[in-house]
């Protein structure tokens, strides 16, 4: 089998699996910080109970994130050695900085959060919660810097066939870092808050731990409602940036084969790569031009503008991008209904809505993954946009058999981790918050 393809599948699988956990961590640490702040302020035991319960879940999620994250730290050397040689001068630094500034912070203070409640003052414990929150969000900054540099490289020059750093700030704050960061963090907050609302909804439906479930639902719903509506703007800003900095990627997202003035926004369609057209296409006329340029007649470049060997594939980016947008709209719809139910003080008794919240839990994960797939597949054939092609980034001395062998092992081991880890989290939820405070050291 083809080495490049195998290495791509391996990276896609290991990174995609890993990416289930960090967004959950981002959202949960934020909600835990809110609840710990309430506890610090009101001294209400209930808040302590809720927070301790969420910290238990966080610990399991976090360890799965850490263990699958180690793999990625070394994947660039394993399968992508030429990439590491070519761009290591720039790409290595954010990974190292993530270790120094973020991983230590998260790991050390999570240790305190899980084991140290009875050993330190309330204020010190609140700071620990803050540092776990802060560390995981800081970790996000560095990894987004690394990823964004691959999408919109800046602050470097090519010297002797290698990319060499010329300006650290320009490289770090390249044209897509800020938009991507806020969009991704918002995705994480939606994920974490929906996990928390789902748990609270389940208790309310089962009529268990009602005292506990109500404030948890309230707090996480507020986060969910605000962030899912904010995400509309953040996602939009990110899309505008993509259209401006990687126009062929936007053309693939929208399956826009020909350059058009007053380009439509696709609602449905089946892109056909061989015929370079779409079947069963439904679109909103002029909408894409409006969204990108705030001008219904603005020109949007189609795929025909770009050399054939520098275009991304269309089908996967198109489908995943639109699934993500659809889910974003679903979240906004659910939020609006939520606001209405809150206003009428009916939210805790609306069985159907609580059920809906419960079944919503998998959706943010699909949104995160499809958004990521759209961004990364849409960047192809480049691994670093206009600098290095993915096919030239591979380790030249690693036989395909080795990659295949390790890929199979990854699939087996990660399936096992999911098959054990997810039931553990479900069991923790079933057990409920009662036993959660007892974790001592």
Q: Which is nearer to another protein, 40 or 417 (CB)?
A: 417
Beta carbon of residue 381, minimum distance to another protein (angstroms, whole number): 21
Min dist. Cβ of residue 4 to another protein (A): 14
Token pair listed for 271: 């892109």
Distance CA 111, CA 132 (A): 10
Cβ at position 126, least distance to another protein in Å: 15
Q: How far is the CB of 428 from another protein (least distance, A)?
A: 7
For residue 156, what is the DSSP state?
A: E
Dihedral angle over CA of 326, 422, 13, 11, nearest 10: 110
Q: Which is nearer to another protein, 109 or 202 (CB)?
A: 109
Q: In angstroms, rounded to a whole number, what is the distance separating the alpha carbons of residues 69 and 340?
A: 40
Specify the residue, 280 or 396, whose C-beta has the smaller distance to another protein.
396
Q: b/e string for 157-192 if b means 16 or more Cβ within 10 A?
A: eeeeeebeeeeeeebbebbbbbbbbbbbbbbbbbbb
In the complex with another protein, the residue whose CB is nearer, 112 or 314, is 112
What sign does the CA torsion over 52, 28, 226, 433 have? Answer: negative
CB of 3 to another protein, least distance (A): 12
Residue with Cβ nearer another protein (210 or 408): 408
Residue pair 162/86 in contact by the 8 Å Cβ criterion = yes
Nearer to another protein, 164 or 267 (CB): 164
Of 7 and 373, which CB lies nearer to another protein in the complex structure?
7
What would the two tokens of residue 262 be? 């007053």
Nearer to another protein, 95 or 222 (CB): 95
Shortest gap between Cβ of 347 and another protein (angstroms)?
Answer: 32
> In angstroms, what is the minimal distance from the CB of 93 to another protein?
5
Which stretches of the chain bind another protein, using CB under 8 A? 59-60, 63-64, 66-68, 70-71, 73-74, 76-79, 81-82, 84-85, 88-93, 95-101, 103-105, 107-112, 114-116, 119-120, 131, 164-166, 168, 395-398, 402, 405-406, 409, 413, 417, 420-421, 424, 427-428, 441
Provide the minimum distance between the beta carbon of 117 and another protein in the complex, in angstroms, as a whole number: 11
Q: Could you tell me if 250 and 263 are in contact, meaning their C-beta atoms sit under 8 angstroms apart?
A: no
Please state, in angstroms and as integers, the Cα–Cα distance from residue 72 to each residue in 43, 176, 424, following that order.
41, 22, 24
For residue 381 the two structure tokens come to 């054939």
Look up residue 383 and give its DSSP letter. E
Question: What phi and psi, each to the nearest 5 degrees, are found at residue 295?
Answer: -150, 115
**For residue 277, what is the enclosing H or E element?**
strand 277-284
What 3 state SS string does 44-94 have?
Answer: CHHHHHHHHHHHHHHHHHHHHHHHHHHHHHHHHHHCCHHHHHHHHHHHHHH
């Amino acid at each position: 089998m083809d080495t490049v393809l195998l290495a791509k599948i391996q990276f896609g699988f290991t990174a995609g699996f890993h990416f289930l956990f960090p967004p959950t961590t981002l959202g949960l640490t934020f909600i835990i910080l809110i609840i710990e702040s309430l506890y610090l302020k009101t001294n209400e035991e209930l808040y302590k109970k809720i927070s301790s319960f969420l910290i238990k879940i966080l610990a399991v999620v976090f360890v799965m994130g850490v263990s699958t994250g180690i793999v990625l730290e070394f994947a660039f050397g394993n399968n992508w050695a030429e990439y590491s040689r070519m761009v290591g001068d720039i790409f290595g630094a954010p990974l190292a900085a993530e270790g120094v500034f973020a991983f230590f912070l998260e790991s050390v203070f999570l240790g305190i959060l899980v084991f140290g409640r009875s050993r330190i003052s309330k204020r010190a414990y609140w700071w620990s919660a803050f540092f776990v929150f802060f560390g995981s969000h800081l970790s996000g900054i560095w990894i987004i810097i690394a990823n964004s540099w691959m999408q919109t490289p800046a602050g470097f020059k090519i010297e002797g066939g290698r990319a060499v750093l010329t300006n650290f700030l320009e490289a770090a704050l390249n044209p897509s870092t800020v938009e991507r960061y806020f969009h991704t963090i918002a995705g994480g907050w939606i994920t974490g808050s929906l996990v928390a609302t789902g748990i609270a909804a389940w208790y309310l439906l089962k009529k268990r731990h009602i005292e506990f479930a109500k404030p948890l639902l309230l707090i996480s719903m507020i986060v969910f409602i605000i962030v899912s509506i904010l995400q509309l703007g953040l996602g939009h800003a990110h899309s505008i940036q993509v259209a401006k900095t990687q126009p062929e990627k936007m053309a693939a997202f929208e399956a826009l084969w020909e350059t058009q003035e007053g380009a439509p926004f696709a609602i449905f369609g089946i892109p056909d790569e061989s015929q370079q057209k779409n079947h069963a296409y439904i679109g909103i006329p002029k909408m894409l031009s409006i969204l990108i340029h705030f001008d219904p007649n603005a020109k949007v470049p189609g795929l025909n503008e770009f050399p054939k060997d520098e275009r991304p594939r269309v089908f996967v980016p198109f489908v995943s991008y639109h699934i993500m947008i659809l889910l974003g709209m679903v979240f906004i719809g659910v939020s609006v209904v939520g606001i209405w139910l809150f206003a009428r003080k009916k939210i805790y008794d609306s069985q159907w809505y609580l059920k809906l919240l419960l079944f919503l839990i998998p959706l943010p994960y699909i949104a995160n993954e499809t958004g990521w797939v759209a961004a990364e597949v849409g960047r192809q054939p480049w691994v670093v946009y206009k600098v290095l092609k993915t096919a030239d980034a591979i380790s030249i001395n690693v036989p395909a058999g080795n990659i295949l062998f390790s890929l199979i092992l990854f699939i087996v081991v990660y399936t096992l981790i999911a098959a054990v880890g997810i039931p553990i989290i479900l069991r923790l939820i079933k057990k409920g918050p009662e036993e959660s405070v007892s974790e001592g050291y």
